[in-house]
Chain A
Amino acid sequence: MEKKIRVLIAKPGLDGHDRGAKVVARALRDAGMEVIYTGLHQTAEMIVETAVQEDVNVIGLSLLSGAHMTLFNDVTKLLKEKGMSDVLVLGGGIIPEEDAPALKKVGVCGIFGPGTPCEDIVDFIKKNVKK
């Protein structure tokens, strides 16, 4: 049977703006992926624990509160601790361009801000995911 790409879409931190996360979740679903959506207000620990249980290949973090430097870093650090560095981590929401290099350095491989065509995210995942 064909292996499916499993993606966790998560909202870390305290902002409640989940429209973007839902649009991306729907687009990935339509691209044939299995998308697990966690809902709002997740801690880094909750996101990584969910990723473990759901055995996902990709984590998409959506954040609009400005706390991305801390929270994204917490997620990638915990993933490393759990031996899950092979999970592809992506970020979306309001992420200033100048923060992207630092985020890439800690393991957030792709940043997709407002206006990104959904196909770009799908293509990026298909090209970079480790199955």
Chain B
Amino acid sequence: MSDLTSRILKGDPRSVAKLITAAENNSKELADEMKIIYKHGGNAYVIGVTGVMGSGKSTLIYELAKEYRKQGKKIGIIAIDPTSPFTGGALLGDRIRMTELVMDDGVFIRSMGTRGMLGGLASAVFDAVEILDASGKDVVIVETVGVGQAEVDVIKIADTTMVVLVPGLGDSIQTIKAGIMEISGIFVVNKADRPDVEQLVAELESLIDISCIGKDRKIPIVKTIAKKNLGIIDLVNEIEKHKDYLIKTKNFEIQRKKRYEAELVEIIRKRLMNFIFDESMFKEKVEKLIDKISKKELDPYSAADEILSKIIK
């Protein structure tokens, strides 16, 4: 084991940060480190927070993290903001809402640019979650970029995905109809002291009623005013209930399997980008490998080696 990895396993923030940078840059030394990291991962509960820009995601995460800290849980936060398609630069400003957490050594916050990814995440987010997990975080919260209608990739990594909505956006119901409804484990109606909040809740309820017909779980709606720390305990309780539900119904393993699938595909995609731009050829081969990864018999990096050895002679 390298010095860097052993320091990460002891929770050293500097080393955690360094390896996340290596993941963002897709550095050569990354794979060897990650193979060890994966053996120590899979323990942290991953919460995805998505919603339109300005809906209060960062503030909500800040309050959520504070509540988890009261319970003694260690928290990792990955906050993603868009990278400019023109210059490749990014202004990462989510930390502004979280300043009080900076000096708490039970909290690690990392800002990321999307760097060309389109699904609301950054390519390195999978590795970053595993690294934070291996460093001993109990909960890892992933904040997507402010989303529109199609950025639903957060479900690939999160155990519980929450969609944050605010009253007064005329088109918010349209957004839900277009598909965000499908990824949400919990709906959060933030800024619930604004006018029209009851109308939004009522419309959500009727949509949930229709979409949950025949299902064993009704998606809950939690009203919050994150800025005033209202509704946060309800939200924590709903997350806990969702977690219990996932475990009881075996959906937890199914979702985790989907996550490992997403991680494996992302690693291979990144590697193949250097040779070819057609991703279609390896689709059939991955299923068996993902099974092994779920059983901890294999890490996704070793699986990637196996597939690539067949393609690249």
Q: Do the two chains belong together in a single complex?
A: yes
Identify which of A26, A32, A35, A39 contacts B92 (C-beta below 8 A).
A35
CB pair B103 A55 closer than 8 Å = no
Task: Tell me whether chain B's interface is mostly helix, strand or loop, or mixed.
Answer: mixed
CB within 8 Å of B: which A35-49 residues: 35-39, 41-42, 45-46, 49
Residue with the greatest number of chain A CB neighbours at <10 A, chosen from B13, B18, B99? B99
CB pair B18 A29 closer than 8 Å = no
> Given known contacts A1-B25, A53-B109, A82-B14, is B91 in contact with A29 (CB within 8 Å)?
yes
Interface flag for A4 (CB, 8 Å): yes
Q: Mark A59-75, 1 if CB is under 8 A from B, else 0.
A: 00000000000000000
| B97 closest partner in A (C-beta) | A39
Q: Distance (Å) between the CB of A40 and the closest chain B CB?
A: 9
Interface size on A, residues (CB 8 A): 32
Interface flag for B174 (CB, 8 Å): no
A50 to B109: give the CA distance in the assembly, Å: 8
CB pair B89 A37 closer than 8 Å = no
Q: Distance (Å) between the CB of A105 and the closest chain B CB?
A: 26
> Given known contacts A39-B95, A39-B99, is B18 in contact with A55 (CB within 8 Å)?
yes
Identify which of B14, B93, B110 contacts A37 (C-beta below 8 A).
B93
CB within 8 Å of A: which B82-117 residues: 83-84, 87-93, 95-96, 99, 102-103, 108-111, 113, 115
Task: Tell me whether chain A's interface is mostly helix, strand or loop, or mixed.
Answer: mixed
Contacts of B91 in A (CB 8 A): 25-26, 29, 35, 37
Interface flag for A31 (CB, 8 Å): yes
CB pair A54 B110 closer than 8 Å = yes
CB pair A37 B99 closer than 8 Å = no
| B12 closest partner in A (C-beta) | A52
Identify which of B13, B25, B111 contacts A4 (C-beta below 8 A).
B25
A6 to B108: give the CA distance in the assembly, Å: 17
CB within 8 Å of B: which A15-36 residues: 25-26, 28-36
A21 to B309: give the CA distance in the assembly, Å: 49
A6 to B81: give the CA distance in the assembly, Å: 14
Interface flag for B6 (CB, 8 Å): no
Question: Could you tell me which B residues sit within 8 Å of A by CB distance?
Answer: 13-14, 16-18, 20-21, 24-26, 83-84, 87-93, 95-96, 99, 102-103, 108-111, 113, 115
Chosen A-B contacts, 13 in total, with CB atoms closer than 8 Å, are A1-B25, A2-B88, A3-B25, A4-B25, A26-B91, A29-B84, A29-B90, A30-B84, A34-B113, A36-B93, A38-B96, A39-B99, A55-B21
The 5 A-B pairs of least Cβ separation, nearest first, read A39-B96, A55-B17, A29-B89, A1-B26, A32-B88
Given contacts A35-B92, A49-B103, 16 further A-B pairs with CB under 8 A are: A1-B25, A2-B88, A4-B113, A4-B115, A28-B89, A29-B87, A29-B89, A31-B89, A32-B87, A39-B96, A39-B99, A41-B99, A49-B102, A55-B21, A82-B14, A83-B14
